[in-house]
Amino acid sequence: MKTKSGAAKRFKVRAGGSVKRAQAFKRHILTKKTTKSKRQLRGTTEVHASNVASVRAMMPYA
């Protein structure tokens, strides 16, 4: 089985089994977004529980 390389670049599996991801909506069209909203998009967050199974299927060895 192969790992989906796109998923490997986007997700990391934590030691406890949860999956972390980067925040969306921070790539372009930033001038109309407020400083507060851009600041809150920094850092990482956890993948929602309903999507964890599909992410784990894309990364079988993680």
CB-based contact 13:1 (threshold 8 Å): no
Contacts of 47 by beta carbon, 8 Å cutoff, 6+ apart: 11, 18, 19, 20, 21, 55
Give me the pLDDT at residue 24, please.
96
Residue 33 belongs to domain with CATH number: 4.10.410.60
Q: The domain containing residue 46 runs over which residues?
A: 5-58
Query: Considering its fold, how many domains does the chain have in total?
Result: 1
What's the pLDDT at 59? 97
pLDDT at 58: 97
pLDDT (tens digit, 9 = 90+) per residue, 20-52? 999 999 999 999 999 999 999 999 999 999 999
pTM (2 d.p.): 0.85
